[in-house]
Amino acid sequence: MVGRSQRTGGGWRFSRSGVAFVGMTMNMPRVPEGLAHLWAKSPVAAHRKAQTLAEHTWEALMRLSELAHQRPDLPALSGQPRLWHLLFWTVFLHDWGKAAQGFQRLLRGKERRWPFRHEVLSLAFVDWVTADLSREESTFLAAAIATHHKDFDDIEDYLDEHDPDLDPLTFMLKEITREDAAALYRWIATCAEHWIDALEMRPLGVTCPVLPPLEQALNGLTPQAIRRHLHRMERYLREWEDTPPSAENLRLGIFLRGLVLQSDHLASAGWGALPDPRLEANAILQTLGLSRRHLYAHQRTAASVGGHAMLLAPTGTGKTEAALLWAVNQRLPRLFYTLPYQASMNAMYDRLTRIFPEQVGLLHGRSTMAQFQRLMEQSYAPEEAAKLAQLLHNRSGLAYYPVRVFSPYQLLKAAFQLKGHEALLSDFTEAAFVFDEIHAYEPDRLAMIVSTMGFLARTCGARFLVMSATLPAPLRAALEDTLGQVTSIHASRRLLAGLRRHRLFLADGDLLDEKNLNQALEKARQGRRVLVVCNTVRRAQQVWLWMRDHLPPEIPFFLLHGRFTGHDRARKEREMLQAAGLNPTDHRPLVLVATQVVEVSLNLDLDVLFSDPAPLEALLQRIGRINRLGRRELAPVYVFRGVDEVFRRVYRPIEQVTHTLEVLEEHFAASHGKGVVLDERSLPRWLDAIYTGAVLDAWQKEYRRAAQEFQRIFLDSLQPFRSNQTLAAQFDRLFDSTEVLPESLYDDYLTLRDSDRALEADSLLVPLSWGLYAMLVQRHALLEGERGFPPVVRLPYREDLGLDLEANPAMEDDQEE
């Protein structure tokens, strides 16, 4: 008997009869007779032999069983008590159309193409298993089969009635021999009961259907039967164009198609059993070298909270550990850790992999490259590293790893109804999400993210923890309004009172003024580890070039921003963390020049900060990289008063910056020039003082406009069984950057591509926002890519400086990592 999920040791494992249910690799309990000649998959060189239809179906059902035992209560959430029954028979039948003789010849390489859709042909067999289902249940089951490769819009041509001699459905059905159809029938009759029991799905509501008599079943394989299911699907989809689907139908469609896609893709990948989705509090603490007795109060509170939460605690007080303890207590089978920047995602992936070995995936625009670099550091050969990196990326993109690190834009792919959005939404169902430093997003994108959070909470049973050093009052209100009941968790006033780590100074002029750069230089000469944070890539490059010309040769200096190649970026992140991390091998002086990339989840610890002005929440993150553990005397942090015009494109509205300076000015004046000792207890009041008047009005106006528009255009129009390619193009422009190849690296790129080292070749590309891309095109500084080659940018590139837009003075800078 399969029990409900069994809780153990502060975490959980899914159980069957008291035994941990951790996935399956068993052989078929009973092999169907007369079907060994029917293939589902062609052989792949030496890597995989041909796979029979029965073998692939069994593999897919094993993956479905694992997914079902991870979420045994999903039928209650979906409002469909027979959800697992519907899914079992959907997966069982999904590829039966491959029994067509033409498709079999295609799989054996005897034909170049088969001009029909095998999933449409699979619909001919639906009536065999639906005698005890309602019409709606049968229609949704058929829809999940018919759309497990293509959207409904791609198969609707089969709706049209034809002369019997010209009907494609007639041709398709003639290609299934009567002998094979009878063998498929016997497969259900003789094997299904054994398979249901072996997969332990009977306690989940899966039963064997009452089959029609054999002759009736065979005679029912007609074009009319297929077309009947297609027309019923069409009626639902046409109705949904005018009236959105009910919550129950939306969930049912999402879970049916989504979990069929997951089961099929995981089976086709051939990775075997899914990793055990287990998080245990004691194991987490042990790995981190912590004990329950020594946890901070906010960490203990997080470990006991069930449901949505907001965690406010300063940098360096164990927010990540608190987040993991919160996730454990949710007792959900998935954890998604969301961060805004690739550097912070890479660093968090490393941290979580040490806690959950072989259970963590990484997913962002350059995650394959990040994995490749890690493997190369472990002495893998380039070809082997490339293959394994691609494997790790593919697993991260499917429902394989129970823990994944990604950006919120991966979350938004589902809301934009991109292809396969049902699989994403199913993966997000009954999942725990940690949002780290959500302050990094502008109000319009924040509105999209928070609205999607609300949809996932209501529709998919997801739970959210939002954590930051500070959250402005309007954002707290938006989260509470969207998510409903949210538990606020705060670091204790006793802890905050003891956290006096920084002395803040306001300095005249612009950070780039020579007198100010000389001040940073002098700190480095005095043996300090100096962090300089600029609001744009161009400014960071200017500071670095100045430092290069003035620093003594024995003082190392680093530059980190988002306009390096993947290869150079990975190396710089690694070198930076080694030199300026929490536990460096020595404490020698250095200078690190960076953009906003250092604000989030990077375990840096330096001695002094020089920063462009920025909104207070961003400044506090920068300040948090200084004297992180509070083991040294009060560390000086310098914020400059000069507001460059370019900052208006980085922070909107710019009043966030000017009001921040006004608040800081008030407190700095009270210090009589001696610097403000930052008291963590006062910072929330400072932040709330900034979000008043014009700043608050502008923020709320932009947020509400974006939230209402996003709800109307995206969330309210979400449908299963079809994607929206118009929105897909919009998504790419809104969130995805593009990549370009520096002209100086063209020959190297070509050599690597010609040597079948595509991943290494791609490591030579530089990411650019679409805005900058358009400017480059307008300034004739870009050659469009052809025949699979990336666009080539005709600007200088250096591995120490990155892509140099200064070479084209007409270019405007913008905010990019």
Please write the tens of the pLDDT for every residue from 516-571.
999 999 999 999 999 999 999 999 999 999 999 999 999 999 999 999 998 998 88
- Among the listed residues 136, 148, 87, the one whose alpha carbon sits nearest the alpha carbon of residue 245: 136
281-492 architecture in CATH? 3-Layer(aba) Sandwich (3.40)
Q: Look up residue 732 and give its two tokens.
A: 């790419």
Residue 156 in this model has a pLDDT that exceeds 90: no
CATH annotation of 501-678:
3.40.50.300
Per-residue pLDDT at 361: 94
Helix/strand number for the chain, H first, E second: 34, 25
The stretch 239-256 carries a mean pLDDT of 96
Residue 767 in this model has a pLDDT that exceeds 80: yes
Per-residue pLDDT at 334: 95
Which long-range contacts (C-beta less than 8 Å, at least 24 apart) are formed by 62-65?
Answer: 62/24, 62/25, 62/26, 62/199, 62/267, 62/273, 63/262, 63/263, 63/266, 63/267, 63/274, 64/88, 64/91, 64/199, 64/259, 64/263, 65/24, 65/199, 65/200, 65/201
Cα(4)–Cα(427) distance, integer angstroms: 20
Per-residue pLDDT at 817: 54
Where in the chain are the domains? 26-269, 281-492, 501-678, 737-807
189 confidence band (pLDDT: 50, 70, 90): very high
Can you list the alpha helix ranges (DSSP code H) found in 124-242? 135-146, 168-174, 178-198, 214-219, 223-242
Residue 14 in this model has a pLDDT that exceeds 80: no
1 confidence band (pLDDT: 50, 70, 90): very low
Per-residue pLDDT at 811: 55
Per-residue pLDDT at 385: 81
Strands (E), 484-539: 487-490, 502-507, 529-533
287 vs 525 pLDDT, higher one: 525
Q: Which helix (H) or strand (E) holds 282?
A: helix 281-288
73 confidence band (pLDDT: 50, 70, 90): very high
> CB of 176 within 8 A of CB of 221?
yes
Residue 397 in this model has a pLDDT that exceeds 50: yes
Cα(767)–Cα(369) distance, integer angstroms: 13
Residue located via tokens 């969207």: 482
Residue 691 in this model has a pLDDT that exceeds 70: yes
Per-residue pLDDT at 746: 93
Residue 16 in this model has a pLDDT that exceeds 60: no
Residue 584 in this model has a pLDDT that exceeds 70: no
Can you list the alpha helix ranges (DSSP code H) found in 108-167? 118-122, 135-146
The topology (CATH level 3) of 26-269 is: Hypothetical protein af1432 (1.10.3210)
Task: Express as a percent the part of the chain with pLDDT over 90.
Answer: 69
The stretch 93-121 carries a mean pLDDT of 96
Task: Report strand pairing: 502-507 vs 334-338.
Answer: unpaired
- Among the listed residues 396, 393, 406, 402, the one whose alpha carbon sits nearest the alpha carbon of residue 339: 406
* Stated pTM of the model: 0.90
pLDDT mean across residues, the chain: 90
> CB of 253 within 8 A of CB of 720?
yes
- Among the listed residues 152, 136, 164, 142, the one whose alpha carbon sits nearest the alpha carbon of residue 79: 136
| 472-487 pLDDT, tens digit each | 999 999 999 999 999 9
The stretch 164-172 carries a mean pLDDT of 90
Per-residue pLDDT at 22: 43
Per-residue pLDDT at 733: 72
> Residues near 694 by Cβ (< 8 Å), separated by ≥ 6?
653, 655
> CB of 208 within 8 A of CB of 89?
no
Residue 13 in this model has a pLDDT that exceeds 60: no
4 confidence band (pLDDT: 50, 70, 90): very low
Cα(23)–Cα(18) distance, integer angstroms: 15
Per-residue pLDDT at 45: 67
Q: Look up residue 52 and give its two tokens.
A: 């029979």
User: Identical fold at 281-492 and 501-678?
Assistant: yes
| CA 399 to centroid of chain Cα atoms | 11
33 confidence band (pLDDT: 50, 70, 90): very high
- Among the listed residues 571, 635, 561, the one whose alpha carbon sits nearest the alpha carbon of residue 599: 561
> CB of 464 within 8 A of CB of 306?
no
6 confidence band (pLDDT: 50, 70, 90): very low
Q: Look up residue 729 and give its two tokens.
A: 């193009």
Cα(371)–Cα(354) distance, integer angstroms: 15
Per-residue pLDDT at 288: 84
25 confidence band (pLDDT: 50, 70, 90): low
Cα-Cα end-to-end distance for the chain: 52
